[in-house]
Amino acid sequence: MLAYLIRRLLISIPLLLGILCLSFVMLKLAPGEPTIVQQDLQMRATGAQRETLRQLYGLDRPIYVQFGRWLWRVARLDFGRSYSPDGRAVLDKIAERIPITLGLNILELIIIFSVAVPLGILSATRQYSTFDKSMTLFVFVGFATPDFWLALLLMILFGVQLGWLPISGLRSLNFEYLAFWAQIWDLLSHLILPILVASFGGLAYLSRLMRGSLLEVIRQDYIRTARAKGLPERDVIYNHGVRNAVIPVVTLLGLMIPGLLGGSVFIETVFAIPGMGQLFVQSAFSRDEPVLMALVVIGASLSLLGNILADVSYGLVDPRIRVSGKEGR
């Protein structure tokens, strides 16, 4: 198991390098250079001043030199300083935001998994029932609904019309003055809408997958055997069926991590949540390369880690594919 993990981690390194190389090149290809954006703030900056800045940031070097230098610094976990006027250390800027984004994404994963799996089981065991059909409808709606539209509708309904939930932000303005439990509720109530919107698409997708997977499994011979030996239907489904059906779902849950991280960009913007996604948008618009590249590194690492975790958890839920050092998966 450990050897497998180490091997997977080692394989991730060239993969990560590839991702970073591509991102770096794409960033360099985008029009507009950070020094130019910075000069907007000082209309009278001369050509000479711009040249100084270019040298300072090493932008006068060939792109592969820039990439090499940048990589060398990243290897030592030095992400440099932001090009934005605050000039703060990139790591500081990200560190204060990463817990929010990670927390949100973990909550989303938990909710997607714990809702989608039961929904899928119910649909599969009641195939073609009204419930199953309405679930099918829900799934298509879930796929077809644009996030931003759903977000606005829910904000209008629960925030403006009914006034039950806060519209945006992470905390109320009087948060500091609330009692402990009121603070917990305040946080939760702010999280309901963003998490609902962020989970909606994944929920529809995963519940569909669970349904299909379970339907396939219960046609297998061993299920027939279980039924034949007179096990109650509950045991057949939950002990023999679900355990096998959930395997592909777990893998795909891991593969959903990059998508969720990408979704944070949108969710955090619309709901005004000060996380990494928001920072990403700001940095992209201001061509703040150090921050942008640092976020790419973190995003890519998290996604790769998600893949590895998915593979490992594979083994945990399915004893047949418990990995040994030799046979891989």
Partner 1 sequence: MVRPARPRCQPPRTSGFLAVLALLALVPLGACGRTETAAEPATAEGGPAYGDTLVEASIGDISGLIPNITSDSASHEIGNLIYSNLVRTDKELRLEGELAERWEISKDEMTITFHLRKGVRWHDGEEVTAQDVDFTYRYMVDPKTPTAYGESFRQIRQAEVVDRYTFRVTYEQPYSPALLSWGIWILPRHILEPAWKAGVDLRTTQQNRHPIGSGPYMFGEWKTGEKIVLEANPAYFEGRPFLKRVVYRIIPDQSTIFLELKAKNIDLAGLTPIQYRRQTDYPAFRKGFNRYRYLANGYAYLGFNLLDPRFQDKRVRQAMAYAIDRQEIIDGVLLGLGRPAVGTYKPGTWWYKEDVKSYPFDPERAKALLAEVGWQDTDGDGILDRDGTPFSFTIRTNQGNLVRQQTAEIIQRRLRAVGIDVKIHVVEWAAFINTFVKKKDFEAIILGWGLGLDPDQYDIWHSSKTGPDELNHFSYKNPKVDALLEAGRRTFAEAKRKAIYGELQDVMAEEQPVVFLYVPDALPVVSGRVRGIQPAPAGISYNFTKWYVPANLQRYTR
230 in Cβ contact with 212 (< 8 Å):
no
Residue closer to partner 1 (CB basis): 278 or 303: 278
Name the minimum Å distance from CB 3 to partner 1. 42
Going by the DSSP 8-state scheme, the letter that residue 178 receives in this structure is S
Residue type, 287: R
Name the minimum Å distance from CB 281 to partner 1. 7
Picking from 252, 264, 251, the residue whose alpha carbon sits closest to that of residue 299 is 264
Distance CA 46, CA 172 (A): 46
Residues in the chain: 329
Residues in Cβ contact with 40 at an 8 Å cutoff, skipping those fewer than 6 apart? none
Q: Which residue has the tokens 């999280």?
A: 191
Residue closer to partner 1 (CB basis): 120 or 277: 277
Residue closer to partner 1 (CB basis): 10 or 29: 29
Residue closer to partner 1 (CB basis): 32 or 118: 32
Name the minimum Å distance from CB 169 to partner 1. 7
Distance CA 66, CA 128 (A): 59
Maximum alpha-carbon separation in the chain: 86
Name the minimum Å distance from CB 35 to partner 1. 10
Residue closer to partner 1 (CB basis): 93 or 211: 93
Name the minimum Å distance from CB 220 to partner 1. 49
Name the minimum Å distance from CB 257 to partner 1. 23
Binding site for partner 1 (CB under 8 A): 30-33, 36-47, 84-88, 93, 96-97, 152, 155-156, 159-160, 163, 166-171, 173-174, 177, 269-272, 274-275, 278-279, 281-282, 285-287
Name the minimum Å distance from CB 258 to partner 1. 22
Q: How many CB atoms lie within 10 A of CB 217?
A: 20
Residue closer to partner 1 (CB basis): 109 or 151: 151
Residue closer to partner 1 (CB basis): 64 or 185: 185
**Cα torsion angle, 20, 26, 27, 28, sign:** positive
257 in Cβ contact with 313 (< 8 Å):
no
250 CA to centre of own chain: 15
Going by the DSSP 8-state scheme, the letter that residue 76 receives in this structure is T
